[in-house]
Amino acid sequence: MTVEVSVLDRKGNPVRNLKKEDFRLFEDGKQQEIVTFGEVTDSAGQEVPTSLADKLDGNLNRGKVVLILFDDSHISGRQTQVARDSAEKYVRQSMRLRDLFAVATFGNALKILQDFTYD
């Protein structure tokens, strides 16, 4: 699982040079181990790791690969709209040009709505 966070000071400026020791991650009330940690910025020319694979093989030009999957078998129409709005917000705020993502739904069968793309 990848968790992205933004840390801002009281004036709304990004806080830099944080380490993984500065964070604690909890899921369902249980603390989880932070395996990789890297600062991601939009600074031109600065390449940063976006995944564990980037750390291991040194390929800093690769982005995230994300599949947004909607399970339509147990969700109401209103909940579907909320989920889609949240997914759109995530894409607009978190995806970068080098990131690859796709969108699919699952009800009685898997349906690809948007195959993997950089756009």
Tell me the per-residue pLDDT of 19-68, one tens digit each, with 9 for 90 and over: 889 998 888 889 988 888 877 665 555 554 545 555 555 555 567 788 88
Q: Which residue has the tokens 């940063």?
A: 48
Residue-level pLDDT at 32? 87
CA–CA separation, 113 and 119 (whole Å):
14
Please tell me whether residues 44 and 70 are part of one structural domain: no
pTM as predicted: 0.43
Q: Is residue 40 part of a domain?
A: yes
Segments forming the whole domain that contains residue 33: 1-49
Strands 65-71 and 100-106: parallel
Answer yes or no: do 73 and 115 share one domain. yes
Q: Has residue 37 been placed in a domain?
A: yes
Pair 40, 82 in one domain: no
Nearest CA-CA partner of 38 in 49, 47, 46: 49
